[in-house]
A and B are shown apart, each in its own frame.
Chain A
């Protein structure tokens, strides 16, 4: 049995002050549903991390299902921190591919701006140990700052090399309509931006924003119903590693990403060199570099250097973060994983506009919760 993404829908990533969590979830969902007019999804999966903190709302599965006219359909909320969206997609994909259901609606949604500004960093850190990380005042920015320093000191990585990924992201986002930040930046601007968690600066860190992205998944039984084309899901895998990064022997080794990427690619039967594009989880610049290295696309310590040398530019050997990645397209936590998947869909159906990877045949998305605590990788290919 094969599984396909038959349509996608998404809002721009922005500060949607005037819209509620359900407003944007509805917007993205109905756009996706309209793209697969003859599909009535048999299950709804909502990926979200902190609807309780921001909107005082739980039970999102039934909430969204009811809103889009699917009351009665099985519906659940899926949470895996920043990988919530990709995790939701993975569960949906698994059930559809396995023939348990023939179609599903996946929606990733997050309203970060509804959280009190002073509270956002606390809410994000809910993904780390309550008793031993949150309690002592260490936020994710702090953990990534420590990781970045460790990375730079151990592997001789320079400030300039680390800056290359944010620079690449912003370059690609200029022509990406749904991206949050659409201005190019220079490495100097990255190095000069305000200090967040030394050595990480503002431009090393993905922004706060709101967004919702949705996808309709179908299998062979439901195929032939799409308006925009089918993209085959060739592989998909969630892997986890030791919960806190500091318990790991080698903090610079993202084993969850290593595992999920290897497994997903194996399922797809693809060699790495066949990938035309890759959407990576650069919530912080160091996360992006270490992700590339974990997936074997750069040697250890070389992720930033490779980006600096243009190895991941749009329409190079391997286009990375084709619409701006987490730094420039944005990172509305629970929605991010589905944005990556929607972008892969656009690439493989030839609808990526100015951001098109020419002749794209295969691509992958990598979404992470925490510091590689959960990693969800999916591999896509043009449907025959």
Chain B
């Protein structure tokens, strides 16, 4: 995972997706071909870091590496530019996590390989007031 993470660290650190040079559509995760017009002419573009919750769940069966954070909120956030990102919601009172709530991306440790392995950083979300 370390090398895979390194390869796309800008995507994780900066919510960097891409934008179609032909029609302006933006995508996160990045695409190979524009989903609107089919063009292959795409450039890297940072997505906005704020949006709202489209739907969410509270997960009680964590994936490995997330056991300590269980139960945890996972949300589908629609960013200001219409792109949708799945991410964990942290540091927010339970009752603030709801469909329609404003959310903001934050920089966090996402996965940690024990005490001697790599720390893989990326994005999570907090409910914004």
Instruction: Classify A-B as touching or not with yes or no (CB < 8 A).
Output: yes
A19 at interface, CB cutoff 8 A: no
* CB neighbors of B among A141-178 (8 A): 141-143, 145-150, 153
- Residues 213-235 of A contacting B (Cβ, < 8 Å): none
Closest to A148 in B: B57
A197:B76 contact, CB within 8 angstroms: no
Interface residues of B in 74-119 (CB under 8 A from A): 74-76, 84-88, 99, 110-111
The A interface is mostly helix, strand or loop, or mixed, namely helix
Neighbouring B residues of A137 by C-beta, 8 Å: 59, 62-63, 65-66, 69, 72, 74, 88, 110
CA distance A190 to B96 in the complex (A): 27
Does A17 belong to the interface (CB within 8 Å)?
Answer: no
CA of A199 to CA of B56 in the docked complex: distance in angstroms?
Answer: 10
Report the contact-size class of chain B (Cβ under 8 Å from the partner).
35 or more
Q: How far is the CA of A200 from the CA of B8 in the complex (A)?
A: 33
Chain B interface: which of A27-35, A64-72, A121-129, A313-321? A121-129
B3 to chain A, nearest CB (A): 12
A139 x B61 contact (CB < 8 A): yes
Given the complex, which residues of B lie within 8 Å of A136, measured CB to CB? Answer: 74, 86-88, 110, 122-124
B124 — which chain A residues lie within 8 A by C-beta?
136
In angstroms, Cα B57 to Cα A250, docked, is: 18
Complex contacts, A194 vs chain B, CB 8 Å:
60
Cβ of B29: which chain A residues have Cβ within 8 Å of it?
129, 131-132
Mask: chain A, 184-199; 1 = CB below 8 Å from B; 0 = not: 0000000000111111
Residue pairs across A and B with CB atoms within 8 Å: the count is 109
Determine how close the nearest CB of chain A comes to the CB of B86; give it in whole angstroms: 5
Interfacial chain B residues near A198, Cβ < 8 Å: 57-60
Question: Complex Cα distance A150/B78, Å?
Answer: 13
Give per-residue flags for A91-127: 1 if the beta carbon is below 8 A from chain B beta carbons, else 0: 0000000000000000000000000001101100100
A246 touches B76 (CB 8 A): yes
**Closest residue of A by beta carbon distance from B1:** A135
Of B12, B65, B74, which contacts A146 at CB under 8 A? B74
Task: Find chain B residues with CB under 8 A from A145 CB.
Answer: 57-59, 74
Interface centre among A138, A153, A196 (most CB of B within 10 A): A138
Assess whether A146 is in contact with B64, with CB atoms less than 8 Å apart.
no
Q: Which B residues are CB-close (under 8 A) to A133?
A: 86
Partner of B122, one of A122, A129, A135, A138: A135
- Kindly state whether residue A247 has any CB partner on chain B within 8 Å: yes
Contact across chains for B61 and A196 when beta carbons are under 8 A apart: yes
B55, A119: Cβ atoms closer than 8 Å: no
Q: Does any Cβ of A come within 8 Å of B4's Cβ?
A: yes
Partner of A149, one of B35, B57, B69: B57
Q: Chain B residues with Cβ under 8 A from A241's Cβ?
A: none
Q: Cβ of B45 < 8 Å from any Cβ of A?
A: no
A142 touches B84 (CB 8 A): no
Question: Does B54 sit within 8 A of A, measured CB to CB?
Answer: yes
A130, CB-defined interface residue at 8 Å: yes
Which chain B residue lies CB-closest to A198? B58
B84 near A196 with CB under 8 A, answer no
CB of B57 within 8 A of CB of A142, answer yes
A-B pairs with beta carbons under 8 Å apart, 13 shown: A122-B64, A125-B63, A131-B4, A132-B85, A135-B110, A135-B120, A136-B110, A137-B66, A146-B76, A196-B60, A197-B74, A246-B84, A246-B85
Interface residue ranges, A against B (CB under 8 Å): 118-119, 121-122, 125, 129-139, 141-143, 145-150, 153, 194-200, 244, 246-247
**Which 8 A-B residue pairs are closest in the complex by CB-CB distance?**
A145-B57, A150-B55, A198-B58, A142-B74, A137-B66, A197-B57, A146-B55, A142-B59
B: residues with CB less than 8 A from A are: 1, 4-5, 8, 11-12, 29, 35, 54-66, 69, 71-72, 74-76, 84-88, 99, 110-111, 120, 122-124
